[in-house]
Amino acid sequence: MSQTKQTFITAFALFSLFFGAGNLILPPFLGYNAGENWIWVLVGFLISAVIIPILAIYGHARLQGTILDFASKISPVFAIIYAVLIYAISVTLPSPRTASVTYEMTIAPYFEMSSLWLSVIYFALVLIFVLNRTKILSLIGKFLTPLIIVLLLAIISIGLFGDVSSVRGSIFENTFTSGILEGYQTFDAIGGVVVGGIIVISFALQGTYNFEEKKKMIGKAGFIAGLGLLLIYGGLIALGAHYSDTIMVEDRVLLLTQLSTNALGDIGTAFLAVLVALACFTTAVGIVTGTADFVKGLANNSQKAYTITGVLGCILGVAIGQFEVHYIIDVALPILLFIYPITIVLIILNVLPKKLVPPLVFRAVTIATILFSIPDFLQFFLAEGSLDSVTKFIPLSQEGMGWVLPALIVFLTIQLFELRKKQEST
């Protein structure tokens, strides 16, 4: 297979893996709430939901290892703890959310069924596919993504040309940082760290390309996938803003459904709902399978560990997936405010020139990030105002990004120290 063809195949695979069906509900509502300031939330959203995840792919192209290699410069123990946290979060939040999206978009508008029963049936089927691996889902996925893209492009194109009297103002205090934080909810940076390793392994199994060829192709594939995400996410955010003063809703799923109905009618919306449900299902199977594979590897290739992990992942899916989408998103926020900064820092450090990021830099910057992410995390569990005496001294803490400047200062301080040391030695 030619390198060009392999690059485009990889780009499509990456786009499909990043383009989780649950992510569809986030951009329109973000644009809807941003109104006339939608450009700024788009920029913020693209940083955390497109640029950072694609940088993760580039980081894997340079490392050509696994998720453990992303944090190994800090310490092997930290790398394992980080990887375990990533997979635990994946089966606890984005996987159950696929069931919630399926229920609210595909089941509730058309059938009388409780969300609990849907979650039970949904994850029972997920478990069957996890324990009995088959190529059916991958084949379905190849057709699902193009169909969803075509429908979304139709919704965006028709919707943006619709008559709208006015666009309202933003409800956000800071539209830029609101866009960044909403991008956390895509879990795409986490997905980039996990998926990048899978892409590297798939290239290695082919045994056709050398290190530099794989690095170049994976990097190009990530760039192409990023452009695709930019097109869809940007269009959906613009569409949400376009109807911000026309449609009155307070729910992410309902807004996407309403926008779809305006453009495609009831039949088109029903068709989109079915496709989204199938895409959600394949995403859930992929998350649970990937988590079970990781635990299996830690347990000396134990099939029993794989089975137990798959069962536990589906039980968590039933327990959490019965809740409404907005509830799961609210629950996810404090967890993401802790794990996402660490992930972002690891991604950036892995794509910087190696001479700038020795193990000392990895350790110091990551420690600073963890320490200054703790207040952002704890504010959701302590009495309001109890951390004011601490956070008032941390820039951007009120925006949920108190880690940014400390991590940057630590990085620059070490660079200046190393530069001065080299000058003195010469």
pLDDT tens digit string along 396-406?
Answer: 888 889 999 99
Q: What are the structural domains, with CATH classification, of the chain?
A: 3-351 (1.20.1740.10), 354-426 (no CATH)
Per-residue pLDDT for 29 more than 70? Answer: yes
Q: How large is the average pLDDT for residues 32-61?
A: 92
SS3 call for 288: helix
Q: How large is the average pLDDT for residues 11-33?
A: 83
Tokens for 262, please give them: 């305006």
First to last CA, the chain: 51
What share of the chain in percent tops pLDDT 70? Answer: 95
**Greatest mean pLDDT range, 185-194, 207-216, 342-351:** 342-351
What pLDDT is stored for residue 74 in this prediction?
Answer: 93
More confident residue, 24 or 79: 79
Which element (helix H / strand E) includes 79?
Answer: helix 76-92
Q: How confident is the model at residue 418 (pLDDT cuts 50, 70, 90)?
A: confident
| Nearest one of 58, 95, 278 to 189, comparing CA atoms | 58
What share of the chain in percent tops pLDDT 90? Answer: 51
| Nearest one of 254, 241, 228, 186 to 33, comparing CA atoms | 241
What pLDDT is stored for residue 205 in this prediction?
Answer: 64
297-339 pLDDT, tens digit per residue, is: 899 999 999 999 999 999 999 999 999 999 999 999 999 999 9
Rounded to the nearest 5 degrees, what angle is found at the Cα of 307, between the Cα atoms of 306 and 311? 120
Q: Could you tell me where the beta strands, DSSP code E, fall in 58-193?
A: none
Q: Give the largest Cα separation in the chain, rounded.
A: 77
Global confidence as pTM: 0.91
| Nearest one of 80, 6, 45 to 177, comparing CA atoms | 45
246-292 pLDDT, tens digit per residue, is: 888 888 999 999 999 988 899 989 998 988 888 888 888 888 988 99
What pLDDT is stored for residue 239 in this prediction?
Answer: 92
Q: Output the CA–CA distances (angstroms, integers) from residue 345 to 7, 167, 334, 355, in the order listed.
A: 27, 36, 18, 17
Rounded to an integer, what is the distance from CA 29 to the centroid of its chain?
A: 17
What pLDDT is stored for residue 204 in this prediction?
Answer: 67
**How much of the chain is in helix, strand and coil states, percent to nearest 5?**
80, 0, 20
Q: Tally Cβ neighbours within 10 Å of residue 272.
A: 25
Q: How confident is the model at residue 136 (pLDDT cuts 50, 70, 90)?
A: low
362-391 pLDDT, tens digit per residue, is: 999 999 999 999 988 888 888 777 787 778
85-129 pLDDT, tens digit per residue, is: 999 999 999 999 999 999 999 999 999 999 999 999 999 999 998
**Dihedral angle at the C-alpha atoms of 309, 315, 319, 323, nearest 10 degrees?**
80
Q: If 0-12 CB within 10 Å is exposed, 13-18 middle and 19+ buried, where does residue 416 land?
A: exposed
d(CA 403, CA 422): 29
**Greatest mean pLDDT range, 18-32, 62-76, 209-223, 315-329:** 315-329
Q: How large is the average pLDDT for residues 201-211?
A: 70
Per-residue pLDDT for 52 more than 90? Answer: yes
Per-residue pLDDT for 139 more than 70? Answer: no
